[in-house]
Amino acid sequence: MANSLLNDGIVQQVREVFTNLKDPVQILFFGRKNDCEYCPDALQLIEEVAAISDKLNVQVYDLDEHAELASRYQMDKAPGLLIVGGQGEEIVDYGIRYAGIPSGHEFSSLIHDLLLVSGGDSGLEAETRTYLKDLQQPVHLQVFVTPTCPYCPQAVVLAHRMALESPMVQAEMVEAMEFPELSEQYGVSGVPHTTINYGAGNVIGAVPENHLLQEIQRALKN
């Protein structure tokens, strides 16, 4: 059996945090049998996390074997995670996604997001909620990160909170070193780096909520 990725101290800390979980949450894992260096560790990590609470469940899929399902959920990277609400077949997709293993500082993003989806409240400011509620155009956010970046979780969780708030928003954490071609495509030289609608807008650094909102508004006008 593989050694645990989470030590007893971290498990205990997470268990205490998970006492705040409300509704059930599912993690849909999309891997690939070949050419996916981080898939085994990513799957082991989320299975260890899910084992800490009976309100968490993991479903495991393969991008190639379950291509139709992957396409339905717009999952095209391995390892890929989709954090959804509901139990069994009753899945509520909030557009909260991960491309790459949520390790290092990004482990805190994963824990935050599980609480976020379980609680069902984005915690965003009223102005932001109003704007997102009235969105007519889709917004696609990709937050490029590295595991050693202490400011990246702030940017990831903000994007995911916006996705929770609006069905028009999809937000994906992208581990920059695992997907170098994508990072190069968007000119990622520092993290966090958030791209809006495939390069229509860019935000460098962990910025306040109103700053990201303004950049989304600007990108949608382009």
Report yes or no: 109 and 171 within 8 Å, Cβ to Cβ.
no
Scan for tokens 């990622």, then name that residue.
Answer: 188
Amino acid of residue 35: D
Report yes or no: 81 and 27 within 8 Å, Cβ to Cβ.
yes
Inter-helix orientation angle 126-133/209-221, to 10°: 30
Output the pLDDT for position 2.
65
Is the overall model pTM greater than 0.85, yes or no? Answer: yes
Q: Which two tokens stand for residue 133?
A: 């509620």
Which fold is adopted by the domain 8-119? Glutaredoxin (3.40.30)
Location of each CATH 3.40.30.10 domain in the chain = 8-119, 126-221
Question: pLDDT tens digits, residue range 130-167?
Answer: 999 999 999 999 999 999 999 999 999 999 999 999 99
**Triad 169, 162, 119: Cα angle to 5°:** 115
**Triad 24, 173, 52: Cα angle to 5°:** 35
Kindly tell me if the per-residue pLDDT of 101 is higher than 60. yes
Q: Which two tokens stand for residue 215?
A: 């950049």
CATH number of 126-221: 3.40.30.10
Output the pLDDT for position 34.
87
